[in-house]
Structure 1
Amino acid sequence: GSALTQLYYPNGSFVDTLGTLYVADQENHRVMRWTQGATQGTVIVDGNGRGAGANQLNRPDALSFDRHGNLYVADHYNDRVQRFSIE
């Protein structure tokens, strides 16, 4: 599903030191974040539908953070890795 309580083909995930979960929600073309204990996620990347624009993803399938807190997303069908500053 596409609600903030649902995922559609989750693929990559990451848990930070605070217990926050990040998920590449592949078929919803977005990256979601759940803080520890949350029952609903937050869209932190995309939410603009599938596409090739700078603010869009097309089937993200992996993610990682660097030591500066930048999020890197493997944007599978766009054949690119995008970097995002997450606050």
Structure 2
Amino acid sequence: TDVLIDKETDSLIICDQDNQRVVRWSRRSGTTQGEILIGNIDCHGVAMDEQRHLYVSDTRKHEVRRYQSGEKNGNLVAGGKGKGGGLNQLNEPHYLFVDGQQNVYVSDWNNHRVMKWDKGAKEGIVVAGRQGQRNALTQLSYPN
């Protein structure tokens, strides 16, 4: 489960994985409950780009989606072709990083690799791992 701070709204964005939702929780005093931003999602990682798009990994659907403020369905940016090890697939994506060009880096947990998905790409590029689960410096084991 992951969390980030949205500085513009002074709130926490939280992957509430067991409740299958992403919630926003204000950091202002007196807040007693969160607000559901995205429901029915087995989220594990969240990231936000400079334009405040929210990126969320879904370990059940093996994909990463980008959401604009108020959007409920989002746009597919990585995976989405079912569970697998192909360059267009993920297998339980966990944590995310989004760079200044909106390229998405994904820890592809069950494939023991880290993938980079360029903005608009249909396939990712393996940037770390790829040699199976072991402990050599060319390999990763369930990367977070």
Q: TM-score, normalised by structure 1?
A: 0.83
**In 2: Cα distance, 1:67 partner to 1:33 partner:** 15
Q: TM-score, normalised by structure 2?
A: 0.53
Instruction: For 2:107, give the aligned amino acid.
Output: A
**Deviant stretches of 4+, over 6 Å:** none
Q: Among 59, 72, 76, which residue is 1:43 paired with?
A: 76
Which residue matches 1:62? 95
- Unaligned ranges ≥5, structure 1: none
**In 1: Cα distance, 2:63 partner to 2:40 partner:** 10
Identity %: 35
Q: Which has the higher contact order (CA 8 A, sep 6+)?
A: 1
- How far apart are 1:41 and its partner, in Å? 1.3
- Unaligned ranges ≥5, structure 2: 1-19, 21-37, 121-144
Provide the alpha-carbon RMSD of the alignment: 1.8
Greater displacement, 35-44 / 18-27: 35-44
Instruction: For 2:66, give the aligned amino acid.
Output: R
Which residue matches 2:56? 23
Answer whether contact 1:49 1:57 (CA < 8 A) is retained. yes
Q: Among 9, 12, 23, which residue is 2:45 paired with?
A: 12
Answer whether contact 1:7 1:28 (CA < 8 A) is retained. no
